[in-house]
Structure 1
Amino acid sequence: MAQLSTEAAGADRSGLAGDAVRRILHVAAAMRHHQDVEMAGLGLTPATARALHELDPDRPLPARDLAEQLGCDRSNVTALVDKLEQAGLVERRVDPTDRRQKTLVVTDAGRRTRDRVHRALSDSRLLDGLSTAELATLRELVWKVSDGGCPERCDTD
């Protein structure tokens, strides 16, 4: 009889975990949808928004370093930077310390757009119905199961 209740508990745990994973995926998809809508409103694709978000407006960066930060090939970054440059959000400039190299500089318009991207990526409207205590519990639980952040694919959209 003990064997049966252990198996039932295991099945119940498996079912609970499966339900939790499905709900997490649902929430993530809803958040991603809201973010994608916001990015589109800014004239950005998810990939260009992520590239802009990764750039530090106060520290010009070579494209190869951006590719490394994004975990993608430099050819993908070239296309992303082309789009950001065409939108007036980033400029390619000669590096004053190494004239053979170009760096990516965030323009004033890029700074403003980057701030809006950051706000969109931090949008918490789906969590509005939770109390402060529930938010604290959710944060602790998510932190407990997270791996510190999954690397995302770098696409040129």
Structure 2
Amino acid sequence: MYFLNNEIFESFSEINKAIYHLGKFEADRVGVTVVQLKALYRISINPDISLGELAEKLRLTNSTVSGVIDRLVQSELVERIIPPENRRAISIHLTEKGKGLLEKIYTSDSILIRKMNSLLEMPKEDIAHLLRLHKLVLSKLTLEEE
């Protein structure tokens, strides 16, 4: 029983490691960190996202994400927008420079994009089955209070 659990754990660890290395390679190539790259991607698919929502999607604390956003603002890749109707709310947007950086990854000969797209070559039934299994594993590993 222990061996099987260890084998499952090792499998997920290897997949995580491979994804991290692909992300690190691309992040280094465009001059940002992996966390900054993930933040830029999340902001690109969630325009007007708040800091709290971004932290939740990245599974990081608000203070950690605030520091990440500070550095992205300094690099002119994102901007904080304060809507006039609610001055306490702050939304985060990509700047043109930030959009350009992501576009560079999406349109270039990106190994990350190539590898991730290769997953889509799997039969749709296999992908659906894999996603069902991942949800099941996640439900078994998630603490009740989360």
TM range (shorter): 0.5 to 0.7
Partner SS state of residue 104, structure 1: strand
The change in CA–CA distance for 1:120 and 1:110 in structure 2 (over 3 A counts) is farther
Runs (4+) off by over 6 Å: 14-17
Residue among 103, 108, 124 paired with 2:115: 124
Q: CA deviation at 1:115?
A: 4.0
The change in CA–CA distance for 1:97 and 1:114 in structure 2 (over 3 A counts) is farther
Distance 2:29 2:132 in 1: 34
Residue type matched to 1:44 in 2? V
The change in CA–CA distance for 1:71 and 1:85 in structure 2 (over 3 A counts) is same
Q: CA deviation at 1:122?
A: 4.2
TM-score when scaled to structure 2? 0.66
Q: Using the TM superposition, name which of 82-91 and 22-31 deviates more.
A: 22-31
RMSD: 3.6
- For 1:30, the equivalent position in structure 2 comes to 18
Give the % identical residues: 20
TM-score when scaled to structure 1? 0.62
What are structure 2's unaligned runs of at least 5 residues?
A: 139-146
Residue pairs, 1:2-41, within 5 angstroms: 22-23=10-11, 25-41=13-29
Q: Radius of gyration: which is bigger? A: 1
Q: What does the per-residue CA deviation read over 1:6-41, in whole Å, with 9 as the maximum and x for residues that have no partner?
A: xxxxx8xx8778656645533442232122111111
The change in CA–CA distance for 1:25 and 1:75 in structure 2 (over 3 A counts) is closer
